[in-house]
Amino acid sequence: MKKILALVAAMAFAVFALAGCGGSQGADSSGAKVLKVGSSIDFAPFEFQDEGQKDYQGFDMDLIRAIGKEMGYAVEIQNLGFDGLIPALQAKNVDAVISGMTINDERKQNVLFSAPYYQSGLTMVVRDDEQAIQSFQDLKGHKVAVQIGTTSAEAVKKLGGVEVKELNTPADCFMELKGKGVDAVVNDRPVNDYYIQKSGATGVKALEERLTSEDYGIAIAKDNADLQKKVDDALKKLKENGEYDKIFAKWFGEKK
Ligand code: ARG
């Protein structure tokens, strides 16, 4: 009897030990490895959800699913507020973040980043009839909307003399602009362009001038260099085998 009990205890221990050895990434009920990914689904064409559609779509979504596939992981995407993404990584609620997130030194103090996967930068959107604002310097003395926790928020504060309204999503910012609660929106160029060209926005225009040049990266918890390497290897593979270019062309047209 004692022997049997000892055996059962040993087996139970082995099961627990095995369950715990997958690193921070878990497994689903079928035993497949799962990569838990956080994203702020409010940033077309990188991450968005069409009305009545259940799947999240966009460049980032296609890219992370392809990376997961390459790594042999099922990808599970969680929609979180942009300013909650890095905290979610730190709390280990997600394994990785893909969200048009700019790689910068401040964030690097808290998370690891993959190699850059998209080159971006900030532009602004104003109303069609706007005369006073033609360049970033003209923002002084005006009200400007930005998404909270973004590089736009930081950059506009740095300009000085601007009244900054930090809202939850870019859509909230554009609404505020149309409702004349602000005179400009500062946001990432490809998102502004998509908003103007693809979503049929009227009464507003994007200006050409770029305030910054920024690279997007996939963020990973500071202590998970192992996952960072896996992601980088997969990204490299996708760049080599043409899969990255395919996804790029799907959302942005052929690369210039
Ligand atoms: N690139 C900017 C940043 O890193 C904005 C990203 C916003 N992303 C989003 N999914 N809303 O701060």
What's the 102 CA to ligand 1 centre distance in angstroms? 7
Q: What is the pLDDT of residues 26-44, one digit of tens each?
A: 777 677 799 999 999 999 9
Q: Which two tokens stand for residue 98?
A: 């893909």
pLDDT tens track for 53-112? 989 999 999 999 999 999 999 999 999 999 999 999 999 999 999 999 999 999 999 999
State which of 104, 107, 147, 192 you would mutate to test the pocket of ligand 1, scoring each by most atoms of that ligand within 8 A of its C-beta: 147
Token pair of 226, please?
């192992």
| Residue 115 to residue 228: CA distance in whole angstroms | 9
- Nearest ligand 1 atom to alpha carbon 40: 10
Angle between helices 59-71 and 243-252 (to 10 degrees): 170
Nearest Cα to 183, choosing from 164, 170, 201?
164
What's the whole-model pTM score?
A: 0.89
* pLDDT tens, position by position, 122-167: 999 999 999 999 999 999 999 999 999 999 999 999 999 999 999 9
Q: Are the C-beta atoms of 109 and 197 separated by less than 8 Å?
A: no
CA dist 112 and 223 (Å) reads 8
- Measured between alpha carbons, how far is 35 from 234 in angstroms, rounded to an integer? 13
Mean pLDDT of 215-225: 98
The closest residue, in CA terms, to atom 12 on ligand 1 is 150
CB neighbour list of residue 76: distance below 8 Å, 6 or more residues apart: 28, 34, 35, 36, 37
When pLDDT is cut at 50, 70 and 90, the band that residue 254 belongs to is confident
What atom of ligand 1 comes closest to residue 39's alpha carbon?
10
